[in-house]
Structure 1
Amino acid sequence: MLLRSLLLLLLPSAAFWWLPGLPDRPWIAVELLWLGAVLASLPARFARPLAWPLAALSTLLLICALADAGVRAALSRPFNLVMDWRLLAPAHGLLTRNLGAWALAIELGIALALIGVVVALALLLRSSTSLPPQRKRIAAAGSLALLLIAAPGFPRTAPLAAAAVTQTQRASAMLHELRTFARTLDIDPLADIADADLFSDLAGVDVIVAFVESYGADVLDDPRYAPLIRSELGDWAARFAEAGLSSASARFVSPVQGGQSWLAQTTLLSGQWIDSPLRYSLITSRGAPGMLPRDFARAGHASIAVRPANTLAWPEAPAFGYQRIVDAAASGYRGPALNWITMPDQYTWDHLQRTQRGNAQAPHYIDVALISSHAPWTPVLPVITDWDRIGDGSLFAEWADADETPEQLWRDSDRVREHYARALRYSLAVIGAYAQRYVDERTLLIVLGDHPAAPLITGGPRHAVPMHVISGDAALVQRFVDAGFSAGNLPPERGQAPQLSDFRSWLADSFSRSRERRRLLPPEQPDHVAAERDRQ
């Protein structure tokens, strides 16, 4: 019975044999065997009560290993139990809005499977405690032998124990780092700028910051995506020339990849590097001394957030200082939801123009989180040429069932990548059409990616995102060029990219009285210098 129980304890460790994304492939979860042998060597009255908590702990560590592989694949970083449990709610929302009732079935199945693992492990561990004294001595000797055998091969021989050590180390490091980060929230580099001077050179100018979902700089270089996306940026050039617009572009470093867009958005708005849910929680609960929406409100702009994906309350919103928030409920949209997408980007832009920019005398600061290029990337819509037809969005019902379902599409990774490129092109095409129609010399439109898509799409760790600035006032755009941006719609291919957290203070320095203008990007280097740097 002992041998049978110990062999059965090896079954959960089989999960480690096929897990993708683990940096160190385990051999076998030998600590499960060791726990069984230890319990078998103890008196039953002590061993039996330990079976259930040990089974629950082992299952939790198995979940951590599974989650580590999943987070590496989706977000290109390791899993941290302390901060990543907060991802359960967004993951539930993503599944529900893409798969409907199937999402609940999947979640219930996972929960039942985990309960089953706990019960099975507990029963196996308990069964190892019912042994005669002679076998208990054998089990004690065996447990010591297993420990000695496994120790030299750690962590590959004991991945559950390694997961416990790793998660403890990550939690300790993060808590220490958060204490350091908290001290930076007491300092605002814009605090010494008087309200009358802050963004004085943008007085009377509508400033619109548009975050494009999953728009990474890799799409400009990857041969799978570059022809389509570069073609769309070429269409921008034709549109802008016809409308008399100027543009400039650069690359920035985002704190995230594959998801958690709100971290990238908060990084740009706060000027702080927000690369974890814990940092986001800290900055929104404690409050940063400055945020771009609050900065522009100080300068006399009406500060507005447009969040078409927000279908629930946004409790962190007060930390940003918006005077008005336009979420899904306030959008007036009467068309269908398109899987995860609550409304297409073109409707968001049209509604913003009709209801926000057209109804106030004060200049606007508006940041908008676009969502049409968010997974699952189906259906992909055409751009409506006649914007006057958009109205309340009812016309989009035509495309509600016009493409593959997410379940059908995600069976084929090549098709997923194709749809990703098409969805991103749609988002960019709508921006180009909007700029041609509505951007003038009293508008500064800043378009940037929030983060690159997941490694499934990009093929590896990526953090660079493009930023484009567009205006009918060539002098405004020239300030970006003077700071290191490239004129036009393609960012420079070489050179060190600044972080998104650098943007807020630079923008204030460049457009405020009494501030000295400075470069944001380093000067371009000769090709042979750049090539040598890249080689190193």
Structure 2
Amino acid sequence: MSDVVRLALALGLLNSALTFQNRWPTAGVRWVPELSVELSALVFVLALIVAWRGAPGRALRGIILGGYLLLVLGRYVDVTVPALMGRSIHLYWDSQHLPGVTAMFLDRVAGWQLALGGLALLALLSVVVVALRWALATVMTALGRPGERRTLGALAAMLLVCYGAGRLDSQLPLAHRFALPVTAMLVEQGRLVLEATLWRRHDRLAGQPLLPTSDLSRLRRGDLFVIFFESYGALTFDDPRFSAPLAAEREALEQSLSAVGWRVASARVTSSTFGGGSWLAHSSLLAGLRIADQGDYQSLLTTDRPTLVSRFAAAGYRTVAIMPGLRYPWPEGQFYGFDLIYQADRLDYRGPAYGWWVIPDQYSLYRVHQREVALNERTPLLVFFPTIDSHAPFAPLPPYRPDWRDFDARSEAVVPSEDMALSERLDGQELAAAYIRSIRYNFAVLGGYLRQLAPANALVLTLGDHQPPAVVGGREISWQVPVHVFTRDPALIEAFTTAGFRPGLTPGPTALGGIEALGPLLLR
């Protein structure tokens, strides 16, 4: 192989390592014909260093290799996370949840699969390091020859000028030939870290309006259920890949509920999060203000702001939360003011475990119904229930039990359930199919509860917390989620339609506002 061919291959490899794009809907990458401004800058600086002081020593070569590897990893994160999650990464906040998310996706994966995957990842990293070391060494060798150094330096300088000109004048089609710099992402992450720590404005929430007080007379002492369907996004209406498979279930649900006296109205609201971070949506609704990131959430918990829970408690309601996903102490729950939180151990589930979350949503709702809703001579209830079975990776999914009393048997027998291999958990098409099944399960649980068990005077508000991760439905979609209200009271349905809801299970095309607007609406 000639020196020219070897150098061309090395430069092509180094350029591709900083310009690849995500191959959606997977975690893989694909080549794109773009140029790396970082590579141009590196070659130009190295040409100057070699001309001034000679070839870099071993220590400097190691630093350059380490820095370039960091850029490659940064590029992978920068193109993969938005493609799979649907939003830009925030390393400071997101890294704190990485262990839990990883454990969730690897739950019930066979040990041999984990070992094989770990070895494959280690082998891939080794290949990347060896390839980068060879490519950088080839470039540095070429820079040691005066003629090639002048040529490479001039070429790098020309590319830097083209990039700068394109940035200064958007009419010039130059900057578009370059990939977005990885260094810009790293600088932005540094700024976000400073904003989340040293520059954090802890008084941002202080001037926000409080939830209004209310005697809740419009509810006529009826119960209120607030049920968050995990990952239930507006794409289930907007994207034919999801709306068509779910159309029959929606129609059947609406007809079956209408037959027993339930009325429904629907709308859209804009969530404060996308693809994850459900607690941000929960707190936005309960606090009546937009909680956009973990910093807002932590700031909220330090305040004494009233919540939807405390407003209902002040009106004489008993307030309970169904939190089957909680397996550890949750001191943050004290902020909301619930009378009782049914976390995993309090639900006393003894059946088969379904994935990372273990407890079927149907069981959780039924158990709290027995302990709270079905009691005689009780006060009205506010029941807050964030579901878990439609959480990514959407499997294994428990079977819906038409006879809810089956749970009274407390069977510990293993019920066959739908599981997913590790490769399927990372594949967009497989996840999309599992997502549809999980939404059908939500509809089955909701419909069954309303038809068989729900109090006749209850108002049931169900909504999504956020769109599913972008690996399921795509990145360039809205942050909107559906919200439905079910009641037998015509006056309540009229109140919601006056506020912008539409009769039926299909919401209108535009959002009423942020998810935080629902709290004041419930308190009118």
Partner of 2:13: 11
Aligned residue runs from structure 1 range 240-259, under 5 A: 240-259=257-276
Q: Counterpart of 2:144 in 1: which secondary structure?
A: helix
Paired position in structure 2 for 1:265: 282
Query: In 1, distance between residues paired with 2:33 and 2:319?
Result: 50
Maintained 8 Å contact 2:231/2:390: yes
For residues 8 and 368 of structure 1, do their structure 2 counterparts lie closer, same or farther at Cα, with a shift above 3 Å needed?
same
**1:281-316 CA deviation, whole Å, 9 max, x = no partner?**
4434x3462332233233333332222223344453
SS in 2 for 1:337: coil
- Answer yes or no: is 1:239 the counterpart of 2:259: no
Q: Which consecutive residues of structure 2, in runs of 5 or more, have no partner in the other structure?
A: 164-174
- Identify the residue that residue 500 of structure 1 maps to in structure 2: 515
In 2 relative to 1, CA 168–353 (structure 1 residues): closer, same or farther, beyond 3 Å?
A: same
Task: Give the aligned residue type for 2:406.
Answer: R
Q: Deviations over 1:128-149 (max 9, x none)?
A: 8899xx9387787567435413
Is the Cα contact below 8 Å between 2:322 and 2:383 reproduced in 1?
yes
The reply on whether 1:355 has 2:345 as its aligned counterpart is no
Q: Is 1:482–2:498 an aligned residue pair? A: yes
The amino acid of 1:151's aligned partner reads: L
User: How do 1:93-242 residues align onto structure 2 when only pairs under 5 Å count?
Assistant: 93-97=103-107, 99=109, 101=111, 102-103=113-114, 106=117, 110=121, 114=125, 135=144, 141=150, 144-154=153-163, 162-169=181-188, 172=191, 182-190=202-210, 193=213, 197-202=214-219, 204-242=221-259
Residue type at the aligned position of 1:300: G
Match of 1:326 among 313, 326, 342: 342
Which residue matches 2:408?
391
Deviations 1:20-56 (A, max 9, x none): 4799963344445456546645658985444444443
Q: Post-superposition shift, 1:237?
A: 2.5
Of 404-413 and 287-296, more deviation after overlay is shown by 404-413
Q: Secondary structure at the match of 2:312?
A: helix
Residue 81 to residue 337, structure 1, CA distance change in 2 (3 Å): same
Instruction: Pick from 459, 468, 474 the counterpart of residue 444 of structure 1.
Output: 459
Match of 2:479 in 1: 463
- Equivalent residue number for residue 70 of structure 1: 80
Contact kept, 8 Å, 1:270 with 1:504, in 2: the verdict is yes
Q: Which moved more, 1:425-434 or 1:411-420?
A: 411-420
Contact 2:500 2:512 in 1 (8 A): no
Could you say if the C-alpha distance between residues 243 and 416 of structure 1 is closer, same or farther in structure 2, counting changes exceeding 3 Å?
same
In structure 2, distance between residues paired with 1:229 and 1:419: 13
SS at match of 2:206: coil
CA shift, 1:422, in A, is: 2.1
Secondary structure, counterpart of 1:372 in structure 2: coil
Question: Quick one: distance in 2 between partners of 1:456 and 1:36?
Answer: 40
1:11 corresponds to which letter in structure 2? L
Shift of 1:227: 3.6
Q: CA deviation at 1:250?
A: 0.9
In the TM superposition, 1:76-87 aligns within 5 A as: 76-87=86-97
Residues in 1 aligned to 2:270 and 2:239: alpha-carbon distance in whole angstroms: 17
State how far apart, in whole Å, the 1-side matches of 2:424 and 2:463 are.
Answer: 27
> What's the CA shift for 1:379?
4.0
Q: Please name the residue that 1:453 is paired with.
A: 468
Q: Is contact 1:54–1:122 with CA below 8 Å preserved after alignment? A: no
Secondary structure in 1 matching 2:266: strand
Structure 1 position 431 matched with structure 2 position 440: no
Change (3 A) 1:175 1:486: farther
Q: Which residue of 1 aligns with 2:169?
A: none
CA contact (8 A) 1:301 1:362 kept: yes
Identity %: 26
Gaps of 5+ in 1: 511-536
Which residues in structure 2 correspond to 1:381-420 (within 5 Å)? 381-391=398-408, 394=411, 397-400=414-417, 403-407=418-422, 409=424, 414-420=429-435
Distance 1:314 1:96, change over 3 A: farther
Deviation at 1:361, TM superposition (A): 3.0
1:46-79, Cα deviation, whole Å (9 max, x unpaired): 8544444444333333222211222222222223
Secondary structure at 1:266's aligned position in 2? Answer: helix
Aligned mates of 2:52, 2:347 — CA distance in 1: 65
Q: Distance in 1 between matches of 2:33 and 2:220?
A: 58
Counterpart AA for 1:56: G
Cα displacement string for residues 108-132 of structure 1 (whole angstroms, at most 9, x for unaligned residues)? 764775587568757976898899x
Residue 291 of structure 1 pairs with residue 307 of structure 2: yes
1:26 is the counterpart of 2:41: no
Letter in 2 for 1:72: P
Match of 2:325 among 293, 302, 309: 309
Higher relative contact order (CA 8 A, sep 6+): 2
**Counterpart AA for 1:418:** A
CA–CA separation in structure 1 for the residues paired with 2:294 and 2:318:
29
Q: Give, in angstroms, the shift of residue 433 of structure 1.
A: 0.6
Matching residue of 2:166: none
8 Å CA contact 1:81, 1:167 repeated in 2: no
- Paired residue for 1:528? none
The change in CA–CA distance for 1:91 and 1:37 in structure 2 (over 3 A counts) is farther
Which whole-Å CA distance do the structure 2 matches of 1:180 and 1:126 have between them?
44
8 Å CA contact 1:237, 1:489 repeated in 2: yes
Residue of structure 2 equivalent to 1:519: none
Quote the residue 1:515 is aligned against: none
Cα deviation, 1:183-224, whole Å, max 9, x if unaligned, reads 44113533663xxx4535446332211111221222124333
Question: Deviations along 1:335-375, whole A, 9 cap, x unmatched?
Answer: 22223342222112112212333459333222111122223
CA distance in 1, matches of 2:314, 2:495: 22
CA displacement, residues 2-30 of structure 1 (integer Å, 9 cap, x when unaligned):
99799657635434335347999633444
Distance 1:62 1:297, change over 3 A: farther
Q: Distance in 2 between matches of 1:425 and 1:441?
A: 24
C-alpha distance in structure 2 between counterparts of 1:44 and 1:212, whole Å = 63
